[in-house]
Amino acid sequence: MIHAAAKVQAAGGVRTLAFDASAPLQLANGEMLAPLTIAFETYGALNAERSNAVLVCHALTTDQFVASPNPVTGRPAWWPRIVGPGRPIDTNRFFVICANVLGGSMGTTGPASLARDGQAYSLRFPPITIADMVRAQSMLVEALGIQSLFLVIGAGMGGMQALHWASAYPKRVFACATIATAARQSAQNIALSELGRQAVMADPDWRGGGYLAHGVRPAKGLTVARMATQVASHSEASVRARLSDAHKRERFSFDAGYSTGSNTSFVERFDANSYLYLSRAMDGFDLAGDFGGRLANAFQGGSTRHCVFAFSSDWRFPPAESRAVARALIAAGADAGFVEIESDNGHDAYLGEEPQFEAALTGFVDSCATARELSLHGGA
């Protein structure tokens, strides 16, 4: 099944597929990236028809451990309510693939990986795009012997990848679920991304991007950058509770900020240069821009079934932007639903307990599965 140029390896609980120099990744900027390693996890079993594969595209700050603990960080699975036995994406029924994104730092080639000279790429890593991330995933999916994915699903940056999948490879995506995302990064998100990047680069331990060679990490800058990604992720109530705690303290201190949450473990597990590259890839995402400014053109002629999910209190990726995606899909003649969930939990609502979201996603997945079986076995 595995491509001749690719080799499955595992080290420290991180499973990877390594492509040698004969199978470079063609980047949008014209460069070739080789060798390429893609770290990935799978759950469940591929059926005989190879028709039950689900690709989960992770968001900016997560990784491939969607449904199992991360052996490197010890953190639990990040999406246990959605992916697992008996969950909306039922691993008893589907073969679920989740790959660390290109440019990431959990095993896939990124700025912390070693270049051919044995030193970390750091800022020598080429600029990448959402399309490049999808192309790398496509190489993985092909290497696993899968011609057509039953479902591609993702939120935030993962939703951008899912939209690009449906646009670039319509025949290879039977269904597509995009969650809390947009077809183009908004100005406010670009401003917040740049703020996070500036915070990383302002940290003297960033060392002009070369911190790995100096055995240091820009932990404080990355903590601030992490806050920029989380700024829409908290409910009004939780921010007010932390505010109240903070106001009980008399003075200011760096460590006790009321929005830091679990940032310490974040900065230990996440490469700061990865943040620079991935956030800039998001900033450059503009699917309509790639198709003459009309988003519907990005989906012309496809038969992928879509469902677009948004959460009412998510102002990083507000429902209006998801509605625009759904409208463009309908305009392109696609079968596309739009679900807006009332929630106080901001952008990260999709990670938590949202029964309406789970019910709608389950209904969408089940109906697509029925349609997929019909299309495979000659029904209707």
Provide, rounded to whole angstroms, the least separation between the CB of residue 341 and a copy of itself: 19
Q: Which of 142, 205 has the CB closer to a copy of itself?
A: 205
Q: Which residue has the tokens 């820009």?
A: 218
Cβ–Cβ under 8 Å, residues 37 and 17? yes
Provide, rounded to whole angstroms, the least separation between the CB of residue 188 and a copy of itself: 6
Give the CA count within 13 Å in the CB-facing half-sphere of 353.
0
User: Contact between 224 and a copy of itself (CB under 8 A)?
Assistant: yes
DSSP state at residue 101: P
Q: Which of 117, 255 has the CB closer to a copy of itself?
A: 255
User: Contact between 32 and a copy of itself (CB under 8 A)?
Assistant: no
Q: Which of 88, 196 has the CB closer to a copy of itself?
A: 196
Give the span between the Cα atoms of 322 and 327, in whole angstroms: 9
Choose one: 18-26, 101-109, 275-283, 370-378; the region binding a copy of itself (CB under 8 A).
Answer: 275-283
| Torsion 52-355-166-40 (CA) sign | negative
Residue 192's SS3 state is: helix
User: Contact between 271 and a copy of itself (CB under 8 A)?
Assistant: no
User: Contact between 284 and a copy of itself (CB under 8 A)?
Assistant: yes
116: number of Cβ within 10 Å: 9
Provide, rounded to whole angstroms, the least separation between the CB of residue 250 and a copy of itself: 7
Fill in the per-residue mask, 226 to 265: x = in contact with a copy of itself (CB under 8 A), - = not in contact: -xx-xxx-xxx--xx--x--xx--xxxxx--xxxx-----
Give the CA count within 13 Å in the CB-facing half-sphere of 233.
17
What one-character-per-residue DSSP string does 11-76 give? ETTEEEEEE-TTSPEEPTTS-EE-SEEEEEEEES---TTS--EEEEEP-TT--S-SSS--TTT-PP
Fill in the per-residue mask, 108 to 127: x = in contact with a copy of itself (CB under 8 A), - = not in contact: ---------------x---x
User: Contact between 33 and a copy of itself (CB under 8 A)?
Assistant: no
What token pair was written down for 81? 């309510």
Q: Which of 120, 332 has the CB closer to a copy of itself?
A: 120
Q: Which residue has the tokens 């039977």?
A: 174
Cβ–Cβ under 8 Å, residues 258 and 245? yes
Q: Which residue of 276, 308, 336, 365 would you call a contact of a copy of itself, by CB under 8 A?
A: 276
Q: Which of 168, 246 has the CB closer to a copy of itself?
A: 246
Residues facing 89 on adjacent strands: 83
Q: Which residue of 21, 45, 115, 191 would you call a contact of a copy of itself, by CB under 8 A?
A: 191
Cβ–Cβ under 8 Å, residues 337 and 307? yes
User: Contact between 217 and a copy of itself (CB under 8 A)?
Assistant: no
Give the span between the Cα atoms of 252 and 194, in whole angstroms: 25
Cβ–Cβ under 8 Å, residues 108 and 102? yes
User: Contact between 84 and a copy of itself (CB under 8 A)?
Assistant: no
User: Contact between 80 and a copy of itself (CB under 8 A)?
Assistant: no
Q: Which of 48, 187 has the CB closer to a copy of itself?
A: 187
Choose one: 5-13, 137-145, 277-285, 328-336; the region binding a copy of itself (CB under 8 A).
Answer: 277-285
139: number of Cβ within 10 Å: 23
User: Contact between 214 and a copy of itself (CB under 8 A)?
Assistant: no
Cβ–Cβ under 8 Å, residues 366 and 353? no
> What is the size of the binding site for a copy of itself (CB under 8 A)?
49
Q: Which residue of 16, 70, 223, 322 would you call a contact of a copy of itself, by CB under 8 A?
A: 223
Provide, rounded to whole angstroms, the least separation between the CB of residue 361 and a copy of itself: 26
Q: Which of 91, 313 has the CB closer to a copy of itself?
A: 313
User: Contact between 209 and a copy of itself (CB under 8 A)?
Assistant: yes
> Which residues fall within 8 angstroms of residue 253, CB to CB, at 6 or more apart?
none
Which residue, 130, 315, 154, is CA-closest to 230? 315
Provide, rounded to whole angstroms, the least separation between the CB of residue 236 and a copy of itself: 4
DSSP state at residue 334: -
Give the span between the Cα atoms of 324 and 182, in whole angstroms: 8
Task: List residues binding a copy of itself (CB under 8 A).
Answer: 123, 127, 186-188, 190-192, 194-195, 197-199, 201-204, 209, 220-221, 223-224, 227-228, 230-232, 234-236, 239-240, 243, 246-247, 250-254, 257-260, 276, 280, 283-284, 315
